[in-house]
Structure formats: structure tokens, C-alpha cells
Structure 1
């Protein structure tokens, strides 16, 4: 379907009412001479320099018959300025109900056919600001004129009109125009765009972010932004980034994002915290591993620097921390800053927002090995804190605290109040969080085991575990240690964990052949002089973006080692980076390192 047909279809429902507008616009031929009428400049100047709304409207009353388009437009402009600057002695309702204002609008209608497109848009702006009813005849006339002159609109006209039409919801003609404007914009873009004006390009991109423009149009706008020699205006750079984050991510955005982030970094002192916060929020919202260019550590560090240098409050700092968490960026300075505020102001941190901030801090700290200088004080605060904030995920909160060896009975109880078995059945990821709580209590605070429901057994969780689809280490292990008789693939611990591989070694470091009939490691018949080695393959998703092992995986390794098993973790990303001839020696050496002296003299092909 052609664009012409699309526009025809859009306006079809309102065409039946066109006769009223056509009748009004027929004044075009009869009123052309009005624009040519010679009127004393005194009248135009009187409107231009009006200081009173009443006097302006009285002037309209006195000179109604001789006023031309220039006078009408100047009267409207002055009326707008007086209202906008608060210098009018009449309120908007008083103006709308004023007979002389009605007279001005009637005069505008009679001359509607001879005002140009820019004047039409300006007139619509003014009557919109004044508050003229959206179903009034004057509004309908102006909208109809705009409809007839769609192809004459500049790109900036279209952008401004979209804003104006937002005031006219449920008006059929305005609704149709709102649909038509993006279509016209895309047609006119290659023809009318100002390719070297960064301010105009910024506006085009903003319009594109609010409307579903084609990839072709987006690429045209972004490529021209990129080709601009210098984007030194921080306002423009901020707007470009905000618009890009409001669009579905695309790889083509990467150089544009980088260029504009560089500008923000070069002018960081010109941005308010609100600007920085919104920018960070928008980047965190659209960040995905597929589009890593929205994750910029330098910018995040600059935001943290702003928070600390300006001594911002606890809540602002914590919400900044939350966005860094979503971006997978750790910043130890921000952790120390928030911890310091906590210690100095604990009595005042009782609001819901502050409680959520502490929840955010504890979750964040599980993703780094860093602990603030006042860590013991923070632990003491968190162990006694009474938190009532609704909306907190108590299982995540309790597991984070437990992993950090902080045991708040109130929070632990809250996360265990629900039907835990039902929760675990519905959300498998919660199994791992529960295990963190259970094993932390078991290892560090056994007196709290009374809080764990007695009918919950960790070995029962294995039926809910998500198992790996393949075993990338299996082939190398078979080649190194003799095949499947010596290497058990896929085995469980009764503590609720899955282990990728297990190998039994006898003294001297030689693998032992075994049937491996048991489901659980604990049930394997292992001679006292032999040693079992567990090989755990750590998938990329078990690491944070900054390569910290996530707490659920770290806890499983910790528990297995605490039980007494020799555990060899293998990072799959590091493994995949090795050449094929390096992989078997890498595995063997890691196992040797764990087993110690007895393996050192043994080599495997």
C-alpha cells in the first residue's frame, strides 16, 4: 500500500466533516486582499508592546474589522507571552470566556486560509497553551489546515506537532495526525534532514525513540550523528544516549554510544546527579551481554566519584549501587562509602528506602571479595537489624547475609515462613539460595539449625536441580585417566549438589577402576587408603561480569571441601581458551596440585 493510500485511510473517518472546514476555508479567495490591506503600523506596535491582557483584548474589539493576519498573529503572540511570563491580570479561564478573545478566534478562523504552515502551528500552540477546548471550531480548523499541508511540514515542525497533539487525545483528527506524522517524517527524512546540525540530529533521534521508525531511518540518523566532527555539547550527548537507550538495542549503536559517553566523561562536572542517575538507569535497563557497550566502567566510576565527592545521602548511594549491580560492575569505594554512612547514621536508617538500600548492599557484596574497613561493625548492625520493608525477596536477602557469615534470625525466619517445598518446586533457582542458607548455618552457626524445617532434606533437592546438557571435560578426562571405567560422569552429593566428574585414586596417584553404581558420592565404596577427586566444571553463567564466582557456586565448592573431598574447579571459559594440546596437561596438573606430592611423579598420555 502506498503512503498516499495509507494517509487517505487514516483520515477517511473524518472526511465526512470536511464540509464545515471547507466552508470556512473558502474565505481564502475573498480575504486575500486583507493580507494586502495597508493598516497603520501603530496597531501592530500596540499589539507587539502590550503590557496588559485586558488592554490587548480591548484593542481587538476596537480594530476587529481592519485586522489582518499579521495583527492577529501578533495579538496571539503577545497574549501568549503575557500568560507565560505571569504578567497577565486574567486567568486562562477568564481569557477563554472573554468575548473579545472569542472575537479574535473568529477572526483567525475567517483568515485561516491565508496563514502559512508555520503560523498555523504557532496559532495551535498558543490556543493550546491558553486552554481553548480541544473540540472547539478554531482547534478543528487549525488541525484541518495542518492535515492539508502535511507535505509542507519541516522535520522540526513534525517533532513539535507531535508534542502539541499530545494535548488532544480522543480528538479523531488529532489521533489520525499522530499516526500520520511518523509516516511523513520517514518520507521527508532523507530529503530534508540537516545532516551537519547536531542539535537537529539530536531531535530526529529523540523523535525516532518515541515512534517505531524503520531501521533504515535509525541508521541514517545515527550515521550522521557519528560523522559530526565534534559533539562537545554535554546536553546533546546526554540526549543522544537517552534516546538510544529508549530504542531496541542494535549493534550499530555501539560507536554512537561510545562517542557520546566520551563527551559526558569529558564534561562530567557539568552534569547534575539527576542527569547521571537517569543516564545510568537507562544504560542498566537495556544492558545485555549481547550489547556490552551499554556497560561502561569509566562512566560508572565517574558517577561513583560524583556521589562520594558531593557527600550524597545513603539512599542515593545505594540506588547507584543497585544500578552498578545490574551492569555487573563492582566499585569498592562505593561499598566503603555506604558502609561508613551506615555506621555513622544507623539510628536514622529506618525508612523503607533505607532498608531496601541495606538489602542492595548485602546482595552486591556477595559478588566481590572486598570488605569495608568497618566490616565487623557492619556485621554487628546487620545481625540485629529489624527489617519490615515489603517487597524484599527474603530468600535472596537471607542467602546473601548467610554467605557473608551474617546471621539475622528475623530475616532467616521470614524466608522460611512460606511453604518452602512449594517454592522450590516452582523456582529451581531458589534451591541454590536455600542451600547457601542451610550450609552457612551448618558450618558457622549450628545453633540456628532449629530454624530449618525438619522435613526438608538436602538430598531431596536433587530432583529439582538443573543439570548440564553436556560435559566438555569428559573427553580429556577419559584420555588422561583411562576411560569411563575410571571416570564417573554425573554424580550427586547428599548435600544437594551435582558434580560433573569423580575419579578415585590410590596411593601413588593411579586411578582406580570402579563400577560407580551409586547415585551419591557419600554412598561410594572407597577404600580408606584411596582418595576421591571431584571435578566441577564452572559454566560462564556462574561468574559475574567481572569474573567473581557467584555465591551459590562458591558455596557448593566450600561445602564439598569442608566435608573433606578433594575438589578441582575448572573454569569453562579458561578451558575453552586453551589449545587442544594444552587441555589434558592442564587438567592433570590441576589434579596433581590438589592431591599433592603423591601425584607429582605420575604422567598421563
Structure 2
């Protein structure tokens, strides 16, 4: 393995001419203290412990809060002749703390002659630095936004490269965190490949199984760096299991995020996950808003990314605990929108959270009236997923319409935005007109999702808003959207069929018509015709002469004093994950067909239906049909 690593790193030659540092500018975020005590989150900026040896002579700054950055740099500029590299490292740390305390402009610090002198001393004496000083210097330079390709940064990386097989596990964790915050360079990228390999090789013999902090950090590193080694994962997990009853909520949070990030969690990971979730549910109120957002973000990634085991991470009580904790902390509106975005991606409806947001919008309508498109669209989608209109809906609706989104945004996401407004009974002819005439253009490539959204928007406006007199999409575009919709039906239809059950319930296949459409492009799973008294009528259907051989329900002739009933077999995706609330957009599909055909429809959640005992399934369907028959006067 050593030969492989050396070969990899040898591709990037050592910089031999240590010249004076000149230009600085590369992004990083905050670190807090020096030494090697790290944050439990490898995605956050690691903390550095404040345990630096006293600085000698005239370089002593015992209390960084007593000094401003410029005062420290002035002292360095006037008195640096005999400064050692160890003094320079200590002063760099003091400078970091001073600048952090008062939130000073880093650009002014970097351009000061005193800072340049510090970098020159580090650069000139880099081979005299201990590995801990090298790592801490790299972290502080990253904080001060020194570019990854400058000579000093590359020199520090070369020193790490030269000692790659001797660096401790904790140092590897610290370095990897820092490297991920640096811009790409050949050496930085090579180290990001090599260090996890070294970590994997060293862990079985060097990991302290009794150090809970080290265990959680190690789990995070292997999870976020694609170390898919079950043996290594289980070494860490087995050690963590010893601490299950003693874990605090922050440690549990870190482990949860790590398990969500793992590409291939082992069976032992799911054993640990169950107990971790119990801790988080119990103590979620101890988490910060940022930690709650991070946990939900990780949960979204694992549930969306992996269909095989992502469902094992989903826990309704856990999501509720996170959201309720955010509510009790009176989360800000902007943070609420990001939290709602994650709930939307989970397909999760939380009415109290939506009520909280709605109350904020009622108190401050400008949050929506003057808000960015992202904010308004996320809020709308949350209402759609819950099929919920707040008490203050009139005020909220007016604020959204006053935003004049159609004058700000010009992309295909506006199709979805207009569709969501229609689904909430909010009619904006100017927005619809812009979508149909300007956003959608003939021969313009369109993603499948946009085609489906456009089709539903068109169907809804045609059937529910006959007063609309603006432009319409071209016929070619609509035909394309209909074809796309039919092609994708298999991916959105329920995997459970109602056909056999309906035929048994009604007395035979002659009473059930399957897989029909409308001339506006709707799709209906089943159609039945009932006469007075609730008896089915057998109807022969004739395929209309069309390219798709689709039977249109408009062509079904029904006897007088009979009623056509449309039956929609809806998939799980039509409902919020945590409730039986039908999403507003799916409800809109049904309302559109009902308005077109002037008849009633039944929506069946087939997943819930399949969970019923078998002897209850037919009576359930018959009760639903009977209720629709009673609703209709047969006039």
C-alpha cells in the first residue's frame, strides 16, 4: 500500500523554490481553536483546542481579546527579526482569535506587512515545524482565505505528503476536513485520495475503542469518503455500541449524519440506527437549528439516493421531533423555508409548521410580496403537499399574487409555480398567459417533468377556468406532452391493480372499463356506469380512430338515468408520506376530469387498500361506489 501511495503522490512534484508569499484569495469557513480536538461533524469546520505553549520575548499576547488584529500585526511588523517559526505559528493563532472576536475584514489583515512577515517566517523555516504546527498552520491559512495554489500552502501540503504514513488518525481527520474547504490543486486532490486510504489501513491497529469522540469522527470520515469496507465499518460500530446507553444528543446526531452518508451501511449500522433515533427523538430540543437542518438534509439524501435501504432511515417520530424542536426555538422565517424545503423533498406534511409560517406571513405580508422566487415557491409546495390552505389564505394569496413572479423569473419552473397556484384555487391569468406564450415555445426541448406539469396546467385551465382568454400552447407541444405522459404512466401508476377486485365486486369484466383517456389528455384507470339502485350497467366501448388506440370516455354512451363513475387508482406518491392527505395537484387532476365529464370520481389509495385484510377490500370498494351513487341525483 505504501508503494501505491507514494506513487500517487509522486505525480505532484515538490515545490523546491520557497519564495515569498504574494497573493491570497481562497474560501474557507470558521475554525475556533488550535490543537487537535475536533468537531463531531466533518462537514463543519473543525475546532482547534486552545492549548498553545507560551510565546517568548516580545511576541507574547496572553489575551487575544485585549488586542485588535492590526495591533498584533503592527507589533510583528516592528519586531520580527529574531522570531522563530514556533513564535510565528503561535502569533498566527492569536491573530486568528483576535480577528474572529471582532469579525474583522480578512482582506485588510492579509495585506498588512506584519501578516506577510509571518508567512515569510513560516515559509522560510517550514522544515523546522512539527507536524501539529504544519496542520494548524494550514487550517489557519485556510481561515484567512490564502489560496490553495500559493507557495506556502503548497509547501505545507508537501510536508504532509512527505509524512503521510506517519500521521495519526486524528491528524488525518483534521487534514481531510481542511482539504475539503480548499480549492482544487493537484497535490490537494492527491492527498484527498491518499489520506482516506492511509486511514483505512491504520484504523484496525490504531483506533482507540474507548474514545467516543474519535469513534464518531472516524465513522464520519469513512462515511463521507466512500470507504466501503464492512470490516472497518464494523470495527467502529462495534465499539460505538458499547456507548449506546451513554450517548449524548450531539454524538447521536453526528452518528446519524454519518450513517445517512454511508454508501453501504452494514447490518450492524441499522442496529445502532434504531437506538440513535430514540436518543434524537427524546432530546431533539437540545439541537441547534443548523443541526436540525443538517440532519434533515442527510435524511433526504439517503431516502432519495437509495431505494433499497433508504426507507429504514425514515422515522415519522424523528421528523416530527426535529420540526417541533425548531418550532419551540422560534425558528426564523428564512431558516423555516429551508426546513420546509427538506420536508417537501421527503414528501412530508406538517400542518403546525405550515400554520407557523402562515402566521408569519399574515403578520408580515411583505415576506411573500417582496420575497424571492425560491421562498414563495417552497412555501407553495409545502401547502400543496399538505393540501392545506391556512386561515389567513386570502391575505397570503394576495401577497403571492402581488409578488408578480411572472415579471421576475423566466424559466420552466414557472410551469410548476402556476400549477401550484391553480391547485390552491388561485387564478392568475397574467402568469398563465406568460407560461403558455413565453416560457413554453414550439420546438423548445422540454424535460419530461415539465411536459407533465404543462399538460395538467392546460387541462386545469381548460376545464376549471373557462373565463381565461389568453394564449394557449401549440397543438404540437400538447400532443408531445400527452405522449410523454402516456410513456411515463408505468412509473407513476400504482403497482397494485384494482381491476380484478372491481370485476368481482360488480359481477364481471363487462362492467369495468380500464385504461381510458379524455381528449384533453387525462388518464383514468377505471370507468363504471351505474343505474338507479346502485346496479352496474354493461357497456360496450369502441376504440376511437386515433393513433394511440385510446378509448376516450367522451365516446362512451350512457343510458338515461345512469351515472358514470371514474375510479383513480392512486400511488403512494399522490399522498403525503405521513398522512392520507391527497396532494393538491393530484386532487386537481381529479377535479379537472370531473368538471370535463360532469360526473363524480373516486380516488383509491391502493397502498392503503392493499393493507386491509383481504375480506375487507371488496366491501371497501363497494362502499366507496355506493357513496358516489348516493351523491348523484341521476338527473
TM-score category of the 2 structures, normalised to the smaller one? 0.7 to 0.9
Match of residue 225, structure 1, among 240, 255, 267: 240
- In 1, Cα distance between equivalents of 2:82 and 2:474: 89
- In 2, Cα distance between equivalents of 1:454 and 1:559: 20
Secondary structure of residue in 1 paired with 2:386: coil
By how many angstroms is 1:81 displaced? 1.7
Q: Pairwise mapping of residues 372-451 of structure 1 onto structure 2 (< 5 A)? A: 372-387=390-405, 388-390=407-409, 393-418=413-438, 420=440, 426-430=446-450, 432-434=452-454, 436-438=456-458, 440-441=460-461, 445-451=465-471
Q: Which moved more, 1:513-522 or 1:46-55?
A: 46-55
**Alignment TM-score, normalising by the size of structure 1:** 0.74
1:314 aligns with 2:347: no
Q: Which moved more, 1:401-410 or 1:458-467?
A: 458-467
Q: Pairwise mapping of residues 7-18 of structure 1 onto structure 2 (< 5 A)? A: 7=5, 9-10=7-8
Q: Which moved more, 1:516-525 or 1:216-225?
A: 216-225
Partner residue in 2 for 1:180: 194
Secondary structure of residue in 2 paired with 1:186: helix
Partner residue in 1 for 2:293: 277
Match of residue 381, structure 2, among 346, 359, 363: 363
8 A contact 1:48–1:78 mirrored in 2: no
- In 1, Cα distance between equivalents of 2:433 and 2:125: 72
Unpaired stretches in structure 2, ≥5 consecutive residues: 17-52, 61-74, 99-108, 544-550
8 A contact 2:531–2:562 mirrored in 1: yes
Partner residue in 2 for 1:577: 611
- Note closer, same or farther for the CA distance 1:306–1:14 as it changes in structure 2 (3 Å cut): closer
Partner residue in 2 for 1:32: none
- In 1, Cα distance between equivalents of 2:378 and 2:469: 26
- Note closer, same or farther for the CA distance 1:310–1:79 as it changes in structure 2 (3 Å cut): same
- Note closer, same or farther for the CA distance 1:507–1:424 as it changes in structure 2 (3 Å cut): farther
- Note closer, same or farther for the CA distance 1:140–1:527 as it changes in structure 2 (3 Å cut): closer
- Note closer, same or farther for the CA distance 1:592–1:191 as it changes in structure 2 (3 Å cut): same
By how many angstroms is 1:204 displaced? 0.9
Match of residue 489, structure 1, among 496, 499, 514: 514
Secondary structure of residue in 2 paired with 1:522: helix
Match of residue 349, structure 2, among 290, 311, 330: 330
8 A contact 1:339–1:374 mirrored in 2: yes
Partner residue in 2 for 1:558: 591
- In 2, Cα distance between equivalents of 1:570 and 1:102: 71
Larger radius of gyration: 1
By how many angstroms is 1:140 displaced? 8.8
8 A contact 1:47–1:56 mirrored in 2: no
Secondary structure of residue in 2 paired with 1:446: coil
8 A contact 2:510–2:539 mirrored in 1: yes
Partner residue in 2 for 1:539: 571
Q: Pairwise mapping of residues 101-180 of structure 1 onto structure 2 (< 5 A)? A: 108=128, 120-125=130-135, 128=138, 134=151, 142-143=159-160, 146-147=163-164, 150=165, 152-162=166-176, 170=185, 178-180=192-194
Unpaired stretches in structure 1, ≥5 consecutive residues: 19-43, 61-74, 109-118, 599-605
Secondary structure of residue in 1 paired with 2:525: strand
- Note closer, same or farther for the CA distance 1:77–1:595 as it changes in structure 2 (3 Å cut): same
By how many angstroms is 1:230 displaced? 4.0
8 A contact 1:281–1:323 mirrored in 2: yes
1:177-208, Cα deviation, whole Å (9 max, x unpaired): 55433222212212221112110012212322
Secondary structure of residue in 2 paired with 1:499: strand
**Alignment TM-score, normalising by the size of structure 2:** 0.71
Secondary structure of residue in 1 paired with 2:433: helix
- Note closer, same or farther for the CA distance 1:362–1:59 as it changes in structure 2 (3 Å cut): closer
By how many angstroms is 1:404 displaced? 0.9
By how many angstroms is 1:575 displaced? 3.0
- Note closer, same or farther for the CA distance 1:460–1:184 as it changes in structure 2 (3 Å cut): closer
8 A contact 2:260–2:299 mirrored in 1: yes
Partner residue in 2 for 1:24: none
Q: How many residues align?
A: 539
Secondary structure of residue in 1 paired with 2:352: helix
Secondary structure of residue in 2 paired with 1:567: strand
By how many angstroms is 1:330 displaced? 1.6
By how many angstroms is 1:395 displaced? 1.0
Q: Which moved more, 1:358-367 or 1:586-595?
A: 586-595
Q: Which moved more, 1:189-198 or 1:456-465?
A: 456-465
- Note closer, same or farther for the CA distance 1:298–1:338 as it changes in structure 2 (3 Å cut): same
Secondary structure of residue in 2 paired with 1:448: coil
- In 1, Cα distance between equivalents of 2:155 and 2:403: 64
By how many angstroms is 1:215 displaced? 3.0
8 A contact 2:385–2:583 mirrored in 1: yes
Match of residue 627, structure 2, among 593, 598, 601: 593
- In 1, Cα distance between equivalents of 2:339 and 2:80: 53
By how many angstroms is 1:577 displaced? 2.1
- Note closer, same or farther for the CA distance 1:400–1:121 as it changes in structure 2 (3 Å cut): same
Q: Pairwise mapping of residues 255-270 of structure 1 onto structure 2 (< 5 A)? A: 255-270=271-286
- Note closer, same or farther for the CA distance 1:125–1:433 as it changes in structure 2 (3 Å cut): closer
- Note closer, same or farther for the CA distance 1:392–1:358 as it changes in structure 2 (3 Å cut): farther
- In 1, Cα distance between equivalents of 2:619 and 2:585: 29
Partner residue in 2 for 1:23: none
Secondary structure of residue in 2 paired with 1:527: coil
- In 2, Cα distance between equivalents of 1:583 and 1:344: 47
1:323-381, Cα deviation, whole Å (9 max, x unpaired): 2111222222222222222233234655553x432222222212224322212222333
- In 1, Cα distance between equivalents of 2:283 and 2:135: 35
8 A contact 1:169–1:175 mirrored in 2: yes
- Note closer, same or farther for the CA distance 1:191–1:380 as it changes in structure 2 (3 Å cut): same
